[in-house]
Amino acid sequence: MKRSELTEFAVEEEGFKLKIRRGTNGIPMISAGLGTATPFSSADSTPAAALPASASAAGSASKDEAGYTYIKSPMVGTFYRAASPESKPFADVGTKVVENSVVCIIEAMKIMNEIQAEAKGSVVEVLVENGQPVEYGQRLFKLKQG
């Protein structure tokens, strides 16, 4: 923060909020989730006091509807529903999947990564369009458990 002369930095995503601000004495202050600002030294890259607030904020943000779960992206990349444009999608609405079922491909740095369901259920909604960029943790599919 000193090198770039930043005094404040904030990020907010789906119920998770992180705010870093330089205090009056130049020591960075971190505020995560609903927690309070916590000072830390530059030698300590992750303040211990901020971790519980971050974990609880992330946990509450990922609460799913009862009976449903989501397949989330394990990486940043481009989402593809099928192996090629002429192939049928790996998973569509109504498809039953198990933990090791391939549901899509995410291309990252010219490498095609097969993404597995890691859950058991039936696809009720595809949440991303074919060829769209996705973020880490972004919901890709909604599954009805069972």
- pLDDT of 66: 82
Catalogue all structural domains in the chain, each as residue range(s) with its CATH number: 8-61 (no CATH), 68-145 (2.40.50.100)
Q: What is the pLDDT of residues 5-51, one digit of tens each?
A: 677 777 777 777 777 776 555 555 454 544 444 444 444 444 444 43
Mapped onto helix, strand or coil, the DSSP state of residue 43 is: coil
Residue of higher predicted confidence among 65 and 91? 91
Residue 46's pLDDT is: 42
pLDDT for residue 136 is more than 70? yes
Residues 77-81: what's their mean pLDDT? 94
Q: List pLDDT tens digits, range 52-64.
A: 443 333 333 345 5
The answer to pTM > 0.75 is: no
Instruction: Kindly report, residue by residue over 92-117, the tens digit of the pLDDT.
Output: 999 999 999 999 999 988 889 999 99
Please tell me the total number of residues recorded for the chain in this structure.
146
Q: In 3-state terms, what secondary structure has residue 124? A: strand
Q: How confident is the model at residue 67 (pLDDT cuts 50, 70, 90)?
A: confident
Q: What is the pLDDT of residue 141?
A: 95
